[in-house]
Amino acid sequence: MAVEVILPRVDMDMATGKISKWHHKDGDRVAKGAALFEIETDKAAMEIDAPAGGILRNIVVTEGNSAPVGSAVAWIYAEGEAVAAPAPAAAPVASAAAATTTTTPAPVTAAPAAATNGEAPRATPLARRLARQAGLPIGSIPGSGPRGRITAADVRRAGEAKPASVPALPPAPVVSGDSVQKLYAPGSFDVIPVDGMRRTIAARLTESKQTVPHFYLSVTCTLTTLMATRERLNASAPKGADGRPLWKLSINDFIIKAMAAALHKVPAANVTWAGDSILQHRSSDVGVAVAVDGGLFTPVIRNADAKTLTTISAEMKELAAKARARKLVPSEYQGGTTAISNLGMYGIEQFTAIINPPQATILAVGAAVERFVPVNGQPVLASQMTCTLSCDHRAVDGAVGAELLQAFRQLIVEPLLMLA
């Protein structure tokens, strides 16, 4: 009997996936476990293996097209098995480019995603969080996603229908592409379609600024000792067979280690917001923003507080390379307990960063700048950087955030403390 090739879920929030490449064509013989096709999600491109060996037939979702998670995209037949007519393909998912020109669809009538066999109703993590925040029973909300899954949009619609105890603010006006384009002379701009990554970034950061009560704390760190320590460590690095050093530590490696160690010293800040609870973590998992064409990824250094600088440096180089190639897997970018955004290499001296929920903190790191500082009453030229911590006030109070930033600065100013 033919084996269905299913479009799998490769990301916690994934509802649909786009097939960016087929490694085999209709009629090819494939081996079980061989790379069959690639899925492009909002965060990565992942190879999917063949679930069985045989002849690939009836490819119903071609390259560049999307389908819901769990739907069949092709079939694999045994040698000599009669080929049946393909089942109807899942309803096509509009591309980013098409979404900018289509008219507003009619409302979808969805059935409630009722629990079955005592299980919780199907819902996205964002939908569950929004429902908790709004005080809405998740099981009472009709789901419009695949197989009745409850989405964030479903929760928002249910919240609008719920009688409010205070007058609701009017919704923000929806800006259409056409209305914006009319403000500029025809031919004076190029239209760049918004892809899945940019849509995800826009949605999550908008949600963060609207729902997370941010506050900001800044410190200036003197780097004199850190730079000297880095230079000595790099100079002492052993050489490989090719004569090149086995490691080269960056300032960012020290920043990652210092942030992780500071969280270990101030466990009250090593938390994430979980709606009806706060999770206090036992290890410091530090996400580091990596810029890529069209967006950014935040791969996570796990247990960074317990790792050496050289281990952190090697892992960061590997994760950054995978991020730029869009080859990260979910376990490499999900679940951090804090994050670091470093724009110092662009000459930015100070900025604030937006928290990535459910994390409760993010550290914005500026460039190293030479300034005169007083030492024993005399001006001395020193290299300094300004760091700004964004905190979610629901989980981290001002004094706790200040204690965390104080511990971080102490470790940057005297980096040998990280090695103790």
Give the pair of three-digit tokens for residue 102: 């289509």
Amino acid at the residue 261: A
Q: Which helix (H) or strand (E) holds 310?
A: helix 309-324
Q: Smallest Cα–Cα separation from 398: which of 221, 215, 211?
A: 215
Helix axes 224-235, 251-265, angle to 10 degrees: 120
Neighbours of 207 (CB within 10 A): 15
Q: Smallest Cα–Cα separation from 252: which of 404, 370, 412?
A: 412
Q: Smallest Cα–Cα separation from 219: which of 27, 405, 346?
A: 405
What is the 3-state secondary structure of 220-268? EEECHHHHHHHHHHHHCCCECCCCCECCCCCHHHHHHHHHHHHHHHCHH
Q: Smallest Cα–Cα separation from 360: which of 389, 395, 334?
A: 395
Q: Which residues contact 152 (CB under 8 A, 6 or more apart)?
A: 124, 126, 127, 130
Beta bridge partners of 16: 68
Whether the Cβ atoms of residue 193 and residue 96 lie closer than 8 Å to each other: yes
- Give one DSSP letter per residue of 92-143, joined into a string: PPPPHHHHTTSPPPPPP---B----TTPPPPB-HHHHHHHHHHT--GGGSBP
Examine the residue annotation and report whether 393 is marked as an active-site residue of this protein: yes
| Token pair 């609701």: residue | 168
Q: Reduce the DSSP state of residue 288 to 3 states and report it.
A: strand
Catalytic residue among 23, 24, 264, 393: 393
d(CA 220, CA 10): 41
- Residues serving a catalytic function are 393
